[in-house]
């Protein structure tokens, strides 16, 4: 509760409730240095699970209400638009130039629309802000505008400019590889929200995108994925060649395996794990790689925090029995910490 109260000071500016992106836990002073006046969609849209859980445990709804307030404001301004731009001003209006993506700056907002709804479990009537329909609408628009199915390869791209009529940037980030797992989790947990036909559609897209994310690894000389890939007709080609031990692909493999029971997702995960062991393991831990197309791999001597928190955890759960941290009892926050479904 003490930590929650200190973090809550980030919401003290009033208005539509946009939080400051930096707050001193000691003095509770606010700082908006990171992007100046802009707020990232993933920034104000990725506190709901944690603050909802704190409200549930303490019986004090102020935490859930504070984290929901900016979402309510933005959703009110975009009642008929579900896929939102990555940047907003503090008054809740869209910031220019617009960019639409489910990768960096936006990713976990969409993740939390679904997961907050899943977290509420049998108590959805008590939600401060019901996000289930917003997630469904966002996925419909994501498939309409961002999913690219050409030449037998399904990719997830970005629109720069207006959503309807902007420039489709033919590049897919590894960060977007969380999305197929999100879609699969939705088909598994949101049966009362989605029609049977829509669940089939979402699952089909999820499996196609998961295969593309696997190819990010299997098509390089080291078996490790780069940061992003250029998309051509029928193929992907690594653009940014560094590997930072990211978790998104193995997260989706774990969820896809648990939802479908198809053993190929374990096999793909084992290949990825073996590549990590071969090229990234060092005496004191694991290191990222500067160029996934070169052997022997040159290490960057950095082990990112998400490698232990997420990448290894999801790999462990991929090969564990499905009742270990069951998807029917727990929901993972964006850093792979399990929170109980109410």
**Catalytic site positions:** 227
In the block, tokens 């504070």 appear at 66
Q: Which residues pair with 288 in a beta bridge?
A: none
Residue 211 DSSP class: H
Beta partners for residue 23, in sequence order: 30
**E strand intervals along the chain:** 22-23, 30-31, 38-40, 87-89, 99-100, 147-150, 153-156, 158-160, 167-169, 171-173, 228-232, 235-240, 281-282, 285-286, 330-332, 338-340
d(CA 308, CA 312): 5
What's the distance, Cα to Cα, between the start and end of the chain in Å?
A: 19
Smallest CA-to-CA distance from 68 within 47, 85, 84, 83 is with: 47
Q: Across the strands, what pairs with 169?
A: 158
Q: Give the H/E segment covering residue 289.
A: none
Burial class (CB in 10 A: 0-12, 13-18, 19+), 297: buried
């Amino acid at each position: 509760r003490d930590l929650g109260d200190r973090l809550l000071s980030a919401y003290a500016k009033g208005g539509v409730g946009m939080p400051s992106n930096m707050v001193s836990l000691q003095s509770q002073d606010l700082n908006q240095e990171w992007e100046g006046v802009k707020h990232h969609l993933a920034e104000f849209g990725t506190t709901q699970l944690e603050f909802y859980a704190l409200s549930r445990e303490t019986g004090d709804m102020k935490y859930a209400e504070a984290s929901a307030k900016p979402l309510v404001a933005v959703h009110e301004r975009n009642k008929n638009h579900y896929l939102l731009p990555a940047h907003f001003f503090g008054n809740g209006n869209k910031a220019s130039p617009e960019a639409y993506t489910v990768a960096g700056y936006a990713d976990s907002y969409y993740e939390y629309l679904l997961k907050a709804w899943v977290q509420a479990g049998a108590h959805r009537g008590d939600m401060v802000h019901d996000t289930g329909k917003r997630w469904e609408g966002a996925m419909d628009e994501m498939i309409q505008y961002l999913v690219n199915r050409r030449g037998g390869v399904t990719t997830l791209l970005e629109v720069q400019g207006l959503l309807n009529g902007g420039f489709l940037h033919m590049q897919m980030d590894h960060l977007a590889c969380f999305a197929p797992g999100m879609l699969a989790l939705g088909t598994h947990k949101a049966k009362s929200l989605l029609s049977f036909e829509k669940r089939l559609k979402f699952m089909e897209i999820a499996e196609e995108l998961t295969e593309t994310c696997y190819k990010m690894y299997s098509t390089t000389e080291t078996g490790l994925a780069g940061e992003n890939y250029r998309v051509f007709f029928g193929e992907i080609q690594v653009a940014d060649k560094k590997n930072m031990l990211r978790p998104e692909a193995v997260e989706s493999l774990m969820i896809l395996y648990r939802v479908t029971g198809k053993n190929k997702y374990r096999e793909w995960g084992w290949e990825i794990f073996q590549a990590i062991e071969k090229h990234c393991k060092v005496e004191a831990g694991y290191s990222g790689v500067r160029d996934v197309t070169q052997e022997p791999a040159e290490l960057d001597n950095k082990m990112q925090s998400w490698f232990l928190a997420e990448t290894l955890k999801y790999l462990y759960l991929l090969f564990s029995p499905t009742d270990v941290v069951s998807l029917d009892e727990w929901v993972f926050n964006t850093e792979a910490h399990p929170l109980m479904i109410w």
